[in-house]
Amino acid sequence: METETVTELIIDQISSQEKEGATNEIMKMKNRKKYVFSDFYKFKGAKDVKIKSITSYVIGI
């Protein structure tokens, strides 16, 4: 994805349980493009907030 200026970020959902978490968000850009994206997080442990890995998916709408 090219570098663009974000004018609005809408966090639709945040979910977390044990060692995993996920977000669902919408980005509105200065050039009027919109993107929906999800991030999936794996944490080092159930009570350890350090992130082990992140997987992201971005779709232009």
User: Rounded to an integer, what distance in angstroms lies between the CA atom of residue 9 and that of residue 17?
Assistant: 24
What CA–CA distance (Å, rounded) separates 43 from 34? 29
Predicted pLDDT at 28: 96
pLDDT at 2: 66
pTM: predicted TM-score of the whole model, two decimal places? 0.75
CA nearest to 10, candidates 34, 44, 41:
34
| Sign of the CA dihedral with 3 first, then 57, 50, and 11 last | positive
Which CATH number is associated with domain 6-60?
Answer: 3.10.450.50
| Contact criterion met (CB below 8 Å) for 28 and 55 | no
pLDDT tens digits in sequence order for the chain, 61 residues long: 568 899 999 999 999 988 999 999 999 999 999 999 999 999 998 777 799 999 999 999 9
